Chain A
Amino acid sequence: MQHVPGVDRGRVMLYALSTCGWCARTKELLTDLGVGFSYVYVDLLAGEERDHVVREVERWNPQVSFPTVVINETKVIVGFREDEIREAVGA
């Protein structure tokens, strides 16, 4: 897991794929908004670690699709939904 430092808007977690254009846009948006967030490229994980993270994503988004953004372990945004993401991080 990587952390991008920025303004504290609660715990912002981005589950992404390193090959996906919409995941890249989501990461760019959060970076541009100056919000502190963590991200993980699930496709680059292997074995037990990958299984563990996939189950974690499944808990928030049963379809296990990407990008999935989880804010403060409560609000879940699936896909690059710019307005929803902006609103959820209060930017």
Chain B
Amino acid sequence: MPDAVSDGEVDRFTRDLAREAEAGGYHLNPDREFTRDLVRGLLANQERYGYISCPCRLASGDREDDLDIICPCDYRDPDLDDYGACYCALYVTANVEAGKRAADPVPERRPGPAERKRQKEERAAVPGDLKYPVWRCRVCGYLCARNEPPEICPICRVPRERFERFM
């Protein structure tokens, strides 16, 4: 594990993440040591790349290219639904948190570079004849009809760049 990040920073950031998670109906992994190590990884990536990309994925260092794997990643919610945990297992479902079931191993669902590019082009080409375009938060699914997406998602707090044109 990288050791450039102090224990105090890790504790603080873990507390912040836990508070935000609970406020939004999400849960951090109750395995404290495991979670602390993941948070240490997130902070190491913040140092390295300038953003908290997933500790269990190899970031390219190009923010635009890594946008979908900045924590919380685009794949967290479907992985919680299917496996009870997100890919790195920082987030788990209520059942897993309560010890009622164990999380399953999570296979990688992030598409390869070529498929990601194709999907991005497809999203950009949404035809629309609505009075307002509809924007979708790729992290939590929040929808809104307005000229531009909000600066910050009012539900999960991710920035505007995580929105896609939905309709």
Show the binding face of A for B, using Cβ within 8 Å: 17-24, 42-43, 54, 62-66, 78-81
Is the CB of B72 closer than 8 A to any CB of chain A?
no
Name the B residues within 8 Å of A81 (CB-CB): 105
Task: Let me know if B88 and A20 touch, CB within 8 A.
Answer: yes
Q: Is B124 in the interface zone, CB < 8 Å from A?
A: no
- Among B44, B107, B110, B112, which residue has its beta carbon within 8 angstroms of that of A19? B44
CB neighbours of A65 from chain B (8 A): 57, 108
Residues 41-94 of B contacting A (Cβ, < 8 Å): 41-42, 44-45, 55-59, 88-89
Among A22, A66, A79, A80, which residue has its beta carbon within 8 angstroms of that of B58? Answer: A66
B35 to chain A, nearest CB (A): 8
- Tell me the dominant secondary structure on chain B's binding face: loop
Closest Cβ–Cβ distance, residue A41 to chain B (whole Å)? 9
Query: Would you list the 3 A-B pairs with minimal beta carbon distance, nearest first?
Result: A19-B41, A19-B55, A20-B56
In the complex where A18-B1, A19-B2, A42-B58 touch, is A24 in contact with B108 (Cβ < 8 A)? Answer: no
Centre residue among B55, B56, B89, B107 by max chain A CB count within 10 A: B56
Whole-angstrom CA separation of A80 from B107 in the bound complex? 10
Q: Which of B1, B88, B112 lies in contact with A22, CB distance below 8 A?
A: B88
> Which residues of B are in contact with A by a Cβ distance under 8 Å?
1-2, 34, 37-38, 40-42, 44-45, 55-59, 88-89, 105-108, 110, 112
A88 to chain B: closest CB distance in Å? 16
Residues of B within 8 A of A78 (CB): 107-108
Taking a contact as CB atoms under 8 Å apart, the answer to whether A54 and B58 are in contact is yes
CA distance A22 to B42 in the complex (A): 14
Q: Are B1 and A19 in contact (CB under 8 A)?
A: yes
Q: Which A residues touch B88, using CB under 8 A?
A: 20-22
Q: Are A24 and B107 in contact (CB under 8 A)?
A: no
B58 & A17 in contact (Cβ 8 Å cutoff):
yes
